[in-house]
Chain A
Amino acid sequence: MTAAPTTTAPGVTGTWRFPVATLAAGLFAIAVPQVVGSYYVSVALTLCMWIALTQSWTILSGMAGYISLGHVVFYGLGGYVSVVTWQLLPLWVAIPLAGLAAGLFAAIIGAPVLRVRGPYFVILTFGIAELVKYIVINVEATIAQAGRLMFGTPPVTILFYVMLGLAVGATLLAWSVRRSRLGAGLIAIREDEPAAETIGVPVVRYKTYAYILSAVIPGMVGAVMGLRLTYVEVLQLFNPIISFTIVTMAIIGGSDDARGPVLGAGFLLVLSELLWSSLPQLYMVALGTLLVCFVLFAPNGIVGLLARRGGGRR
């Protein structure tokens, strides 16, 4: 039990429970490679990857309601940075650099892209991801690289630790943005953007901040995943399935609470572990059915279902 700070708004109980639990889970997870075999380390790495990606996505798409269907673009750019700089730059430079590149890209395209709303924004983000993918493919073609062989990449345990840090970082970031003034402004934008503007929310600036914040960690995630590959093709780095999976996890887990992405990522990963190897066709069928059911009956995801059952905290 931690004491609630006196400065919080009334009605917020157990304020610090979530970040403390997140950190505790993160510390606990450090032991994973000592306890389980390398197969499960890579499963844990994948879980951390999805948590980090989905949490980041909720900062823009959950809070401000601008649904991005092209979040893979940041992952892909980050991955490309780490692949290109591999053996030129040390890991601790390359990974932050990848995050910086993704954030910078978001800052540049943010202003024009965030002018459109609703379905247009969804389509635009998807289109941008595809556009960047083909630009990178062409860049690779001009420098005569159809694919890159990666030698001497770090062992999976090291990459797992980095990814664990990113998952914990993304979770804490999403949690703290939600509780901040920025988060309040973003939620006002989601509820009614013109109204948000009249109460003094700097809408353009806040949307851009949210876009940048939602891009940096996916850039670093991509950088780590680029080093997981032994043979890198650009198509893999910018695979739109990654964007779709992020959205699916956010919908199933619930994007209105920092617990949602963790639950959504965990749930989907368990499902795929159970079904993917034995019945891959059934996995896609189950996924589609689940998605439809959640959208129709539980729009706030697993977190929403838990809140309804508990009737208590949101």
Chain B
Amino acid sequence: MGERFLEIEGLVSGYGAVVAVHGIDFVVDAGKVAALVGSNGAGKSTTLRAVSGLLPTVRGSIRFEGEEISKLPADQRVDRGIVMVPEGRLIFSQMSVEENLRIGAFAPRGRRQTAQTLETVYEMFPRLAERRRQAGGTLSGGEQQMLALGRGLMARPKLLLLDEPTLGLAPMMADTIFEAIRSLVSEKITILIAEQDVTRTLQQASVGYVIENGRIVASGSGQDLLIDPSVKAAYLGI
């Protein structure tokens, strides 16, 4: 076996003294959607934040395109193409939509093609183009999520980490977001997604990992997990 796109081994991470992820292993292959599912507080967000460098890796390794990155600061990981779209959207509410997007290209890898990427994002989300002069904080929840996603794309990611992208969104908006995720995959962007909408996430994912109490308790293709009786019982309420 050659190198994997993203390979996590024995990852331990958390907030200071509070360890939320107790040694997990998983891989993500290039151009695919990988899903982390599990209940609130299971360690999904912590895992994403550790991969993006927002939280320290206490133990274990994170290899991206064959290189160890677990000691790199967050900004250097962005520059290698690992971009996180955080939970709760965290857009710059005082800045206009366009300013939000432009600052998304802060990392050197995004800066070179800012204008071009901006056009792509506007094509993907025409709603953002309509509101380009509007302050980010005045957008609806769904539009803010589009903006957060668009801002992440401005850095020209290879690996996009999505933390609860449809949390609290109206069903129609959630559809738009999932549609966007599909089109990103067709553009060869790899996606690692943590979502509470387990059914739809697993339908799109080529591989899924079920996390409980900071450990991976089940894994398999998205379709397999959907019919797995224990997953059904725990997360699908069937």
Contact = CB atoms under 8 A, between A and B. Distances in A.
Interface of A: 181, 184-185, 188, 191-192, 194-195, 197-202
A191 B95 CA distance: 8
Contacts of A202: 73-75
A191 B151 CA distance: 15
A198 B94 contact: no
B139 to A, nearest CB: 15
With most chain B CB atoms within 10 A of its CB, the pick from A184, A192, A200 is A200
Nearest to A202: B75
B103 interface: yes
B86 A195 contact: yes
B86 A199 contact: no
B90 A198 contact: yes
B93 A198 contact: no
B14 interface: no
A246 to B, nearest CB: 24
Nearest to B54: A197
A195 B95 CA distance: 13
A199 B94 CA distance: 16
Nearest to A201: B106
Given A188-B92, A195-B92, A199-B155, 14 more contacts: A191-B92, A191-B93, A191-B95, A192-B92, A197-B75, A198-B52, A198-B90, A199-B103, A199-B151, A199-B152, A199-B154, A200-B74, A200-B106, A200-B155
Closest 10 CB pairs of A and B: A200-B78, A200-B107, A195-B90, A202-B75, A191-B92, A200-B75, A198-B84, A199-B106, A200-B106, A198-B86
B224 interface: no
16 contacts: A181-B106, A188-B92, A191-B92, A191-B93, A195-B90, A195-B92, A197-B54, A197-B74, A198-B78, A198-B152, A199-B106, A199-B155, A200-B155, A201-B75, A201-B106, A202-B74
A124 B154 CA distance: 37
Interface of B: 52, 54, 73-75, 78-79, 83-86, 90-95, 103-104, 106-107, 110, 151-152, 154-155
Contacts of A181: 106
Nearest to B82: A200
B74 A198 contact: yes
Contacts of A184: 103, 106
A185 B106 contact: yes
A221 B110 CA distance: 40
A194 B86 CA distance: 9
A103 to B, nearest CB: 23
A198 B104 CA distance: 9
A177 to B, nearest CB: 16
Contact of B91 (A195, A197, A200, A201): A195
B106 A191 contact: no
A97 B106 CA distance: 35
Contacts of A192: 90-93
Nearest to A185: B106
With most chain B CB atoms within 10 A of its CB, the pick from A184, A185, A192, A195 is A195
A193 B54 CA distance: 12
A147 to B, nearest CB: 47
Nearest to B79: A200
A181 B151 CA distance: 17
Nearest to B77: A200
A195 B101 CA distance: 12
Contacts of A191: 92-95
Contact of B107 (A194, A195, A199): A199
Contacts of B84: 198
A197 B75 CA distance: 7
A204 B69 CA distance: 19
B106 A198 contact: no
Contacts of B92: 188, 191-192, 195
A200 B73 CA distance: 9
With most chain A CB atoms within 10 A of its CB, the pick from B52, B73, B78, B103 is B103
A117 to B, nearest CB: 15
A198 B84 CA distance: 6
